[in-house]
Amino acid sequence: GDSVTQMEGPVTLSEEAFLTINCTYTATGYPSLFWYVQYPGEGLQLLLKATKADDKGSNKGFEATYRKETTSFHLEKGSVQVSDSAVYFCALSPSGGGADGLTFGKGTHLIIQP
């Protein structure tokens, strides 16, 4: 079945550091890929998504590119802020928006120190 593997946390960085959170997937067909963020005490929020190979999703300074050849969707940000501290989930869906349910990675807890 489908699966998502993302780097284990916690990841601790200083403010303004460069961020990469790795995510790889296994799936049949051509899934859509997502990054969700969960701030303390809140529900998951869609951060960005990509629906086909070579698409780049971006939002709030975060980017991720759908790489079919490496089955990856790594999350990057050039300069992190304390407010980016949260848990980040990589996910995939066989369909465009998650209408078939999502398969999630385990989540990566990101801690940004001032």
| Contact pattern from residue 51 through residue 90 relative to another protein, giving x for each residue in contact according to CB under 8 A and a dash for the rest | --------------------------------------x-
Q: How far apart are alpha carbons 103 and 28 in whole angstroms?
A: 13
Structural tokens at position 39: 């701030």
40 near another protein, judged by CB under 8 A: no
Q: Which stretch binds another protein (CB under 8 A): 23-31, 54-62, 64-72, 95-103?
A: 95-103
97 near another protein, judged by CB under 8 A: yes
102 near another protein, judged by CB under 8 A: yes
Q: Which is nearer to another protein, 18 or 60 (CB)?
A: 60
Q: How far apart are alpha carbons 5 and 107 in whole angstroms?
A: 9
Q: How far apart are alpha carbons 53 and 35 in whole angstroms?
A: 15
Q: Which is nearer to another protein, 18 or 39 (CB)?
A: 39
94 near another protein, judged by CB under 8 A: no
Q: How far apart are alpha carbons 57 and 4 in whole angstroms?
A: 18
Backbone angles phi, psi at 11, to 5 degrees: -105, 120
**Cβ(11)–Cβ(108) below 8 Å:** yes
27 near another protein, judged by CB under 8 A: no
